[in-house]
Structure 1
């Protein structure tokens, strides 16, 4: 059973709902701290799901065996249950899931926030292995990512900027969970995303202080979709949790309004 945080309702000004898809090790909570209420108050119906095995969503198989295709099915299930196809908003690995979803599903628009690029996570994984070779070895041997993410200096490095308040970093660290190693490996597939099959207009955003997805990768994603990369200074990977989250939400809101959504 998939759990969804669902607030607000569609309005004449914003007739299309929004569906938020979280990243690796996160859950719907990452959107609920700020974004869901922000968009609900702006007259949108805003929903965020816990992908199977995450947060309060159950899974018919162990999380370690879940695949990117499983996550795409989760997005499709929630999307298909809405009266109108939603704008899909994906963060990090969730952005990769959104791109996979768009290969075979229509959407009025999509937003990619600090998303894995269409080519996948190989470059990001190699950078992390060079920074922390022993942690990479342990993660490979055990299939567990949390030991390399939950110590606060590592949480900050992976998800936040150097200036993010300690309490924000600690709150995120306490809520992180394991991710499916099978899904993470799939993001390193040489096939990547077939961008030619994606027709939805896409807003691409990233943080200049992102310890995972580089600014060059954000630009490459934008180039792949023939659009502009919107980069935010002093912003880490978890753009929706950073103190400057409102500027990100306002950029999304403005872009949607410009498209009549």
Structure 2
């Protein structure tokens, strides 16, 4: 059973549900801080899931072996139970999942938020080594990558902007969980997204102070899907940053413009 946080209800203005997919080391909680209530208050049904081994979803021991296809199955298990096909919204690794999901599943639209690019983690992993080589080696060789984020400085560097309140960084760092080792293999080349197979309209949102994926990578992602990226002056975890409302407002406007 996957943890699902479900808020709001479909309305005449917004009949299409929104399905939010978190990134690596996170859970549905990251959307529940601000975004779910924001969209529920706007007349959307807003649903977030925790992938296997994340948040309050069980199977933490087996999470290290979870593949991108396993995570896509998790998303489809929730999407297929909704009254209509949802807009799928993925953050970071969740954007990687959304891209792969859309290769073989219909959706009215997709939204990539500070997403892993189509070329995967081939630049993210070197960033980990560049910053903390010893920790990166231990994380990758043991399959226990959470140990890499054992300092608040590292958490801030990768996930938050320099101006994010320290209390927020402390609180969110305490909620991070272990991540799949197999997903690293998938994202380094074994199973990368195939943009040519994706027909859904995509919105690409990036963060200027993102410690995971560079501004150039965000623009590469947008170009792969024939669109332009919208950048915001914040860190990687845009849904948790003090300026989160600006991102939510832009997503809402984009959805309204498409009758969703």
Same-fold call, TM > 0.5? yes
The yes-or-no answer on 1:207 pairing with 2:177 is no
Q: Aligned partners of 1:133 and 1:219: how far apart in 2?
A: 28
Q: Aligned partners of 2:140 and 2:64: how far apart in 1?
A: 13
User: What SS is found at the alignment partner of 1:122?
Assistant: coil
Q: Normalized against structure 1, the TM-score is what?
A: 0.97
2:102 corresponds in structure 1 to 102
The yes-or-no answer on 1:65 pairing with 2:65 is yes
1:149 and 1:158 in contact (8 A); partners too = no
2:92 corresponds in structure 1 to 92
2:112 corresponds in structure 1 to 112
Question: Per-residue deviation at 1:147?
Answer: 2.0
Q: Aligned partners of 1:61 and 1:72: how far apart in 2?
A: 19
Question: Per-residue deviation at 1:128?
Answer: 2.0
User: What SS is found at the alignment partner of 1:189?
Assistant: helix
2:253 corresponds in structure 1 to 254
Q: Aligned partners of 1:183 and 1:240: how far apart in 2?
A: 23
Q: Aligned partners of 1:11 and 1:150: how far apart in 2?
A: 43
Q: Aligned partners of 2:40 and 2:231: how far apart in 1?
A: 25
Aligned residues: CA RMSD:
1.2
Q: Aligned partners of 2:177 and 2:246: how far apart in 1?
A: 27
* Deviates further, 98-107 or 49-58: 49-58
Q: Aligned partners of 2:7 and 2:151: how far apart in 1?
A: 33
Question: Per-residue deviation at 1:136?
Answer: 1.1
Q: Aligned partners of 1:53 and 1:101: how far apart in 2?
A: 19
Q: Aligned partners of 1:182 and 1:159: how far apart in 2?
A: 22
Question: Per-residue deviation at 1:190?
Answer: 5.4
- Segments of 5+ residues of structure 2 without an aligned counterpart are none
Structure 1 residues 66-215: aligned runs within 5 Å: 66-189=66-189, 191-215=191-215
- Runs (4 or more) in structure 1 with deviation over 6 Å come to none
2:29 corresponds in structure 1 to 29
1:3 and 1:56 in contact (8 A); partners too = yes
1:221 corresponds in structure 2 to 221
- Alpha-carbon distance change, 60 to 243 in structure 1, aligned in 2, over 3 angstroms: closer
